[in-house]
């Protein structure tokens, strides 16, 4: 068992790195089906990553923050993945660190994107960065509340407490409210329509990433896929704690399957909505923040 505790972070990293492009492929295939298209094969995102990784590294902005930003974003995403109790198993880190670290690391990934955008010195990247910043400020509280809700119940900031259902807490009104808020914020977490505002292809030409190409761009893409998968996992483990057998490999498979359902939802909403403007999105996020604060209040009351 002790060996498994040490192996768990490694298993997390492996599973996430291997499966993230596949989920991306599912999203693309689903969008294609909704649009009456054939769509690319499921493994296309792997090919895309390999192709990008095989290209020459360009430092078009000629500065070191520009070079470091993709590495930072990827490292942050990978670190998050390593920490989490995936498959219900608390790894060696998960037992010692708390949710604040996860929030920090997720923010760090966002900051890395901003850093790269600002270092690009491109008008479109700058506009994209300012939109990304607004989105971060407005969406982060929702994420924080999701993670802290368990902490309020179990009076602990440990990662185990973040999964209150798993740790034995009951499904309360607060959990129900938070579940709804999480679903409403999901598209914003994963930067999909209607909230792909910072990248906005036809307005900003991928915004923060406009100057990136080759391996650097591949790292950003990979980091975004990991992040996407993390948010799907977070939903499954916080709100669907009953998906659990107690057998580690079986739990991994079950969680992956449940995450697939979350991805189908993301894809469905993404293909049936136009992009919102940032001012419209901010008003939407504000409502979510208020609702998540209400959930905290309910949790404090013990409801």
Tell me the C-alpha to C-alpha distance, in Å, between residue 38 and each of 29, 51, 177, 261. Answer: 8, 22, 38, 21
Q: Is 201 in the site for another protein (CB under 8 A)?
A: yes
The least distance separating another protein from the CB of residue 102, rounded to whole angstroms, comes to 30
**Tokens 């079986």 correspond to what residue?**
250
Dihedral pair phi/psi, residue 114, rounded to 5°: -60, -45
Among 28, 153, 227, 275, indicate the residue that binds another protein (CB under 8 A): 275
The most distant pair of C-alpha atoms in the chain lies apart, rounded to whole Å, by 57
Q: Are 260 and 181 in contact (CB under 8 A)?
A: no
Considering the complex, state which of residue 201 and residue 247 has its C-beta at the smaller distance from another protein: 201
Considering the complex, state which of residue 125 and residue 225 has its C-beta at the smaller distance from another protein: 125
Q: Are 173 and 103 in contact (CB under 8 A)?
A: no
The least distance separating another protein from the CB of residue 48, rounded to whole angstroms, comes to 14
Among 278, 288, 295, 298, indicate the residue that binds another protein (CB under 8 A): 278
Q: Is 20 in the site for another protein (CB under 8 A)?
A: no
Among 76, 149, 197, 226, indicate the residue that binds another protein (CB under 8 A): 197
Among 158, 194, 241, 267, indicate the residue that binds another protein (CB under 8 A): 194
| Dihedral of alpha carbons 71, 74, 80, 85, sign | negative
Q: Is 56 in the site for another protein (CB under 8 A)?
A: no
Task: Classify 122 in phi/psi space as left (phi over 0), alpha (psi -120 to 50) or beta.
Answer: beta
- Structure token pair of residue 91: 């790894």
Q: Is 265 in the site for another protein (CB under 8 A)?
A: no
Q: Which of 281, 275, 270, 287 is CA-nearest to residue 130?
A: 281
Which range touches another protein (CB under 8 A), out of 1-9, 75-83, 123-131, 221-229?
123-131
Residues that bind another protein (CB under 8 A): 31, 34-38, 123-124, 127, 193-194, 196-197, 200-203, 205, 271-280
């Amino acid at each position: 068992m002790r060996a498994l505790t040490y192996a768990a972070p490694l298993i997390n990293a492996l599973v996430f790195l291997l499966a993230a492009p596949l989920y991306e492929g599912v999203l693309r295939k689903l969008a294609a089906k909704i649009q009456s298209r054939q769509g690319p094969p499921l493994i296309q995102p792997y090919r895309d990553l390999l192709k990008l990784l095989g290209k020459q590294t360009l430092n078009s902005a000629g500065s070191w923050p520009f070079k470091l930003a993709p590495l930072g974003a990827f490292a942050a995403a990978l670190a998050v993945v390593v920490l989490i109790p995936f498959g219900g198993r608390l790894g060696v880190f998960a037992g010692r660190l708390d949710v604040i670290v996860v929030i920090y690391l997720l923010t760090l990934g966002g900051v890395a994107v901003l850093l790269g955008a600002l270092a690009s010195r491109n008008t479109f990247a700058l506009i994209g960065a300012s939109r990304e910043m607004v989105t971060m400020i407005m969406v982060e509280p929702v994420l924080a509340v999701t993670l802290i809700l368990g902490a309020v119940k179990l009076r602990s900031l440990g990662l185990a407490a973040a999964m209150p259902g798993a740790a034995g807490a009951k499904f309360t009104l607060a959990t129900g409210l938070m579940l709804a808020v999480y679903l409403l914020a999901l598209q914003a977490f994963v930067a999909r329509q209607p909230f792909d505002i910072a990248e906005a292809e036809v307005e900003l030409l991928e915004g923060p990433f406009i100057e990136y190409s080759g391996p650097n761009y591949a790292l950003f893409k990979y980091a975004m896929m990991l992040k996407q998968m993390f948010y799907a996992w977070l939903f499954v483990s916080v709100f669907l704690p009953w998906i659990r057998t107690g057998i580690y490999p079986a739990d991994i498979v079950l969680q992956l399957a449940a995450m697939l359902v979350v991805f189908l939802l993301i894809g469905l909403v993404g293909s049936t909505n136009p992009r919102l403007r940032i001012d419209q999105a901010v008003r939407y996020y504000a409502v979510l923040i208020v609702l998540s604060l209400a959930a905290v209040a309910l949790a404090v009351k013990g409801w």
